[in-house]
Amino acid sequence: MDLPWLRIVVVGHVDHGKSTLIGRLLHDSGALPEGRLDEIVRADAAANAVPEWALLLDHFHEEREQERTIDSTQAFFATGRRVYRIIDAPGHREFLKNMVTGAAQADAAVLVIDVEAGVMEQTRRHAALLALLGQTRVIAAVNKMDRVGGRREDFDRAAADAAALLARMNLRAHAVIPISAQQGWNLAVRSEALAWYDGPTLFEALDSLPSPEPQSHRPLRFPVQDVYTREGRPLAVGRVESGRVFEGQAAVLLPDGVRVRIQSVARFLENRTSAEAGECVGLAIEGAHDIRRGAVLCDPAVPAKVARRFEANVFWLSDAPWEQGNPLVLRCATQQAPAKIERVIRRVNSASLEPIATNATRLEHAEVARVAIELDAPIAADGFGDCPALGRFVLVKNQTVVAGGTIAAIPH
C-alpha cells in the first residue's frame, strides 16, 4: 500500500541546528544510500565521536550548485505511516525569499530553537512567516539538549518562550519536543537522557499531524501555463492546482468569463480521460477562441473571483525600501499584471513583532505589512485559505522578487 505524503519545512535561527536536524532525519529514517554518510563525513568522524550531520546537507547544496542530479531518497524520508518531503530552505538571508516563494507549499513546519539561546530575531521572523502563510501545523523542536545535560528546567524555559511566540502569531504548537539533533535524541527513538519527557518523539509527532484536505476535493482551478497546437487545435497545458478535470466537463475561463467545455485530457505518453490536483496535463478546450498563458479554468459553480483590488499580507524582501508610488508587477500562479501598493494599512517589525505604523508610506527589508493592492488588469484570485495557488503571489520590480504575500480579503 502506498503511504500518504506530507511536505515539511524546517525553520529557525541560522545557528540553531536546522541543517543538522535535516541530515539526522535522513540518516535515522534510513533514507541515505549505503555508504553515503561515510563518504561525506569520514574525515570529520575520524576526529569526533559523532559525525557533523550538517555536512550532509551542505553536500546536497554543493550538488545542486554543480547541477548534478540528487537521488530522490536524499530529498525524502519515511516513517511507518508517511513519506515526508523536506522542502529545502538554505541560508538565513536567502531563506526569507525561498520560504515565501517556495516553502509556502509546505503542509507542516518544524520550528527549531536552541535550548540555550532561546527565541532570537530569525526565530521570530520565521514564525511571522509561518503565520503569514497560514501554516497551522507547527512542531517546535527545542534542540541541543545535550549541551545542557538534558536538564528539564532548561527545556521548560525554552518551551515556554516558544509557546508564547507562537501564541502572539495566533499559532499553537502541535507538540514541543526536547531533542538533540547531533546525538539523535527523541528523533526516531526516545532518549534515556531525557527520561523525564513523556511526550512524542519527533517522528511520532510528525506522524500524528492531521493530513491536509486533498486539493482534489476542492473546486477546479487550472492556471494555463502555455498553449500548444496539436492537430490544428490549441492545447492548454498546466497543472491542476485543485479539483478534478475530465472529458466533457463544463468550465469557465477567467478572467474573461467565457464558458467552455473540456474536449479531451492528455498527459505525456498516457491516454487519459481525467486528471486531479497535482497533475500536469494538456487540455483540448471547446468554446474558446483565444486561450492565453495566465487564463484560469475554474468550476463554473464555484469560480475564483475576478479582482483588480484586494487586501493582502506581504513580507518585504528587498534591501531597497518600498515607497509610495513604486510601480510593481504582481505574479500569481501563471498570471501577471502591473500593480501598485495603494495603501499600507499596517506595518509591523517582523523581528520584534511590534507595530511600526498605520497608513504608512514606506516598507523596509523584512517588514510585514497588511496592504491594499491595485492592479492594472483583473486576475482570477482566491483567498489563500481557499486555494493557496491562487491566493499567494510575489511582487516584482526590475525582474527581481521584492515581496511575497497572501491574499486576505477580496471585495465583492
pLDDT at 174: 96
Asked if 332 contacts 401 with a C-beta cutoff of 8 angstroms, the reply is: no
Q: What is the reported pLDDT for 298?
A: 97
Assess whether the region 215-298 and the region 305-409 belong to the same CATH fold.
yes
**Residue holding cell 492565453?**
292
pLDDT tens digits in sequence order for the chain, 412 residues long = 577 889 898 888 888 888 889 888 888 887 766 555 565 555 454 555 555 655 555 555 444 444 433 332 346 888 888 999 887 554 445 556 666 655 677 889 999 999 999 999 889 888 888 887 788 899 999 999 999 999 999 999 999 999 999 998 889 999 999 999 999 999 999 999 999 999 999 999 999 999 888 889 999 999 999 998 877 778 999 999 999 999 999 999 999 999 999 999 988 767 789 999 989 999 999 987 788 999 999 999 999 999 999 999 999 989 999 998 899 999 999 999 999 999 999 998 877 778 899 999 999 988 889 999 999 999 999 998 899 899 999 999 999 999 988 999 999 7
What per-residue confidence (pLDDT) applies to 204? 96
Q: Which CATH superfamily is domain 5-208 in?
A: P-loop containing nucleotide triphosphate hydrolases (3.40.50.300)
Say if residues 329 and 339 touch (Cβ distance below 8 Å).
Answer: yes
Residue 17 burial by Cβ neighbours in a 10 Å radius (0-12, 13-18, 19+):
buried
Domain ranges in the chain? 5-208, 215-298, 305-409
Do residues 81 and 3 lie in contact, with contact meaning Cβ atoms separated by under 8 Å? yes
Q: Quote the pLDDT of residue 33.
A: 60
Cβ atoms of 131 and 100 closer than 8 Å: no
Assign 227 to helix, strand or coil.
Answer: strand
Give the domain 305-409 fold: Elongation Factor Tu (Ef-tu); domain 3 (2.40.30)
- What is the CATH architecture of 215-298? Beta Barrel (2.40)
What is the pTM (predicted TM-score) of this model? 0.79
Reading the block at residue 10, the C-alpha cell is 524546517
Q: What is the pLDDT of residue 69?
A: 30
Tell me what pLDDT residue 351 has: 75
Cis-peptide into 255, omega within 30 deg: yes
Could you tell me which residues are beta bridge partners of residue 370? Answer: 313, 346
Q: Roughly what angle, to the nearest 10 degrees, separates helices 18-28 and 54-65?
A: 100
pLDDT at residue 26, as a whole number: 84
